[in-house]
Amino acid sequence: MAITTALWSFALVVGLLTLTPGLDTALVLRTAALGERRRAWGVVLGIQSGTLLWGALTSLGVTALLAASQVAYQTLRWAGAAYLLWMGGRMLWHTWRGDGGGEGGAERQEAGAGPAALGGPSDSLLGGWRRGLLTNALNPKVGVFYVAVLPQFIPATAPHLATGLLLTSVHVVLGLLWSTVLVAFARALRGWLRKPVARRVLDRVTGTVIVGFGVKLALGD
């Protein structure tokens, strides 16, 4: 397989994966829709950092150990499930307590800022990056996907690490492009989401989705 053919074929596979609604989509939409622009881009960059990490580990052969070791896989799976359940549960808890803006709502109110304010305590690029990275890095299914798929697109005569990173970069670029569309769409909803009721509904939906993914990961489905 020529490297050009490998790039286009891999782009098709991960492109379809990127467009499939999932946990990453829910996180980006929710954060951007609340007007937390820097935090939303932090989430996007964190998710893509996790993708790059999984691609690099796979290219080095490290994630093959994850797929082969039941203990390592189960440990990472439970850690990921616990993180998702904590994150989603926290969102739901804040909405039922009547904080008005879900997670981060209290901080915005203390600062006297609306949901679209920029630079507020909750609108942190680093905080968003950390959330996106942990969400992706603690999902062992991403690692298993890369172990199963990535090596098939690396030509036998090509340098394994460099080609693996190149292919992973294609996935990252597609993820960034799609995230740009999601952020733009979510920002168009900011006017409606200025209403406390709308923000609570958004956080309840997103929190439920995240808890659902956590339960699914814990059950190993």
Which residue ranges in the chain fall short of pLDDT 70? 1, 63-68, 98-123, 193-194, 221
* Percent of the chain clearing pLDDT 90 (strictly above): 26
By C-alpha distance, which of 19, 45, 85 is closest to 93? Answer: 85
Concatenated DSSP letters of the chain: --HHHHHHHHHHHHHHHHHS--HHHHHHHHHHHTT-HHHHHHHHHHHHHHHHHHHHHHHTT-HHHHHH-HHHHHHHHHHHHHHHHHHHHHHHHHHHHT-SSSTTHHHHHHTT--TT-SS-TT--HHHHHHHHHHHHHT-HHHHHHHHHHGGGGS-TTS-HHHHHHHHHHHHHHHHHHHHHHHHHHHHTTHHHHTSHHHHHHHHHHHHHHHHHHHHHHHHT-
Residue 107: predicted pLDDT: 38
User: What is the pLDDT, as a whole number, of residue 146?
Assistant: 87
For residue 165, give the nearest of 55, 88, 64 by alpha carbon. Answer: 55
Specify the pLDDT at position 101: 47
